[in-house]
Amino acid sequence: MDIPIRIHPIPQLPPETTATPQNLPFSSQGAEVILGNIIETEQLVIPVAPSPTTMFGPRGACLFANGLLWVSDTGHHRLLGWRNLPTKDSQSADWVIGQPDFSHEGQNAKGTTGRSTLNVPTGICSCDEGLAVADAWNHRVLIWKNLPEDNNVPADLVLGQANFIDNEPNRGSQQASASTMHWPYGVFYHQGRLFIADTGNRRVLIWHQFPTENGQPADVVLGQPDMISRNENGGASPTAASMRWCHDITLWGENLVVSDAGNHRVMIWQGIPTENNAPCAVVLGQKSFDFVEMNQGVYYPSASSLSMPYGVGVAGDWLIVADTANSRLLGWKKVESILSLQGVVADGLAGQINFQSKGENRNFGLPKRDSLNWCYGIKICGNTAVIADSGNNRILLWQFNNS
């Protein structure tokens, strides 16, 4: 499912510090609320058996203005829902979708694919009054027209498949099309437009108007020259238009942002592209469009490098990137022209003590309220950051003081 990690046999010394570490404006007390198991000192492993309070590798979460929260509990193949914003650690979920109850797990509930079954759910986002979920290993996106507020509410719409029963990648074809998907991991909605990171096809699909029919074809493709191609980086060397492992999507002001984890970069377009294969304007994490090495080719990270960035989120002027394999969050502040962002260092950091550190939970210790372990997702609603801290099997609700 994920791209293999290449490890240098002899780690190089950390590079000279090129930027003064500045904490992102998160609460200094760490996460106010932690959902999932809290590790005790004497514990050696994290229990991952399904329950109303546990999670296994959650990869996405979506908080709504009314306090309702939905989480993709990826490893348990289910969604967990809270009717109100949780206020205490390990608070039990109120609802489950994808399993018959809180104690069961398994792909498609160990049965056949249906309107409320899931197989590796990942990205999740609000769609006006509804909800969209990337059901990655069923090679589809499920859409609820209204926010589900009960157990196993069936989805109203499916994209990537012609119906709710089928689940073959690209509907069984060796080629992609405007209406098929292969491992879609990210979803994003903005003012009637729907964006999907069709990860296994190495592309982003855009619908100009919100889909109304099952299997409705996309209008625009990014990352590929046409709707049928699906090669890594378009079958050639990396460019400003190509992708290897796109995973998450957001808008930073009016500009489209895509995390291209396989190329260890974040791509930013000026505005929202309307033509197929439109090149991005700048990338974060790499020196140029054709350079795609992990941490820019050295073992230790820096203030301008990335290693498998999976998540992107926006809070006011800040673009926050979940730099997943470096177990940290990096933040860039909006500038007058995005063209000036090429190659610049990050303005803020969370999860590590400095820009050259990358150890899980900082020093490979037990999780702390302000540490991270392979963080996959970051979304911010109001002043609350919702972080899918996947390697720690938990969700962090952490105040972001964007003043």
* Whole-number pLDDT of residue 6: 43
How close are the terminal C-alpha atoms of the chain, in Å? 39
One-letter identity of residue 46: I
* Whole-number pLDDT of residue 117: 98
d(CA 21, CA 357): 11
Q: How far is CA 135 from CA 32, 52, 115, 153, in A?
A: 29, 21, 11, 15
DSSP letter, residue 101: S
The answer to whether 214 and 163 have CB atoms below 8 angstroms apart is yes
User: Pairing relation of β-strands 375-381 and 121-127?
Assistant: unpaired
d(CA 269, CA 119): 32
Largest CA distance in the chain: 56
* Whole-number pLDDT of residue 20: 53
* Whole-number pLDDT of residue 17: 45
Helix (H) / strand (E) element for 97: namely: strand 95-97
* Whole-number pLDDT of residue 76: 98
Rounded to the nearest 10 degrees, how much is the dihedral formed by the CA atoms of 321, 326, 327, 329?
-30
* Whole-number pLDDT of residue 47: 60
Choose among 277, 177, 266: nearest CA to 218: 177
* Whole-number pLDDT of residue 363: 84
φ, ψ for residue 248, nearest 5 deg = -140, 160
Tell me whether residue 231 is exposed, middle or buried, using C-beta atoms within 10 angstroms of its C-beta: 0 to 12, 13 to 18, 19 or more: middle
d(CA 297, CA 292): 8
Q: How far is CA 89 from CA 79, 99, 380, 397, in A?
A: 18, 23, 19, 10
Per-residue pLDDT 10s for the chain (403 aa) are: 454 444 444 444 444 444 455 799 999 999 999 999 776 655 555 668 999 999 999 999 999 999 999 999 999 999 999 999 999 999 999 999 999 999 999 999 999 999 999 999 999 999 989 999 999 999 999 999 999 999 999 999 999 999 999 999 999 999 999 999 999 999 999 999 999 999 999 999 999 999 999 999 999 999 999 999 999 999 999 999 999 999 999 999 999 999 999 999 999 999 999 999 999 999 999 999 999 999 999 999 999 999 999 999 999 999 999 999 999 999 999 999 999 999 899 999 999 999 999 999 998 889 999 999 999 999 999 999 999 999 999 999 999 997 6
* Whole-number pLDDT of residue 80: 98
Rounded to the nearest 10 degrees, how much is the dihedral formed by the CA atoms of 62, 64, 68, 69?
10
In the chain, domain spans = 33-399
d(CA 169, CA 185): 13
* Whole-number pLDDT of residue 46: 61
Helix (H) / strand (E) element for 127: namely: strand 121-127
Contacts of 276 (CB under 8 A, 6+ apart): 220, 221, 222, 224, 225, 226, 227
d(CA 235, CA 209): 30
d(CA 346, CA 127): 30
* Whole-number pLDDT of residue 37: 78
In our burial notation (b when 16+ CB lie closer than 10 A, e otherwise), range 42-69 reads eeeebebebeebbbbbbbbbbbeeeebb
The hierarchical CATH code for the domain 33-399 is 2.120.10.30
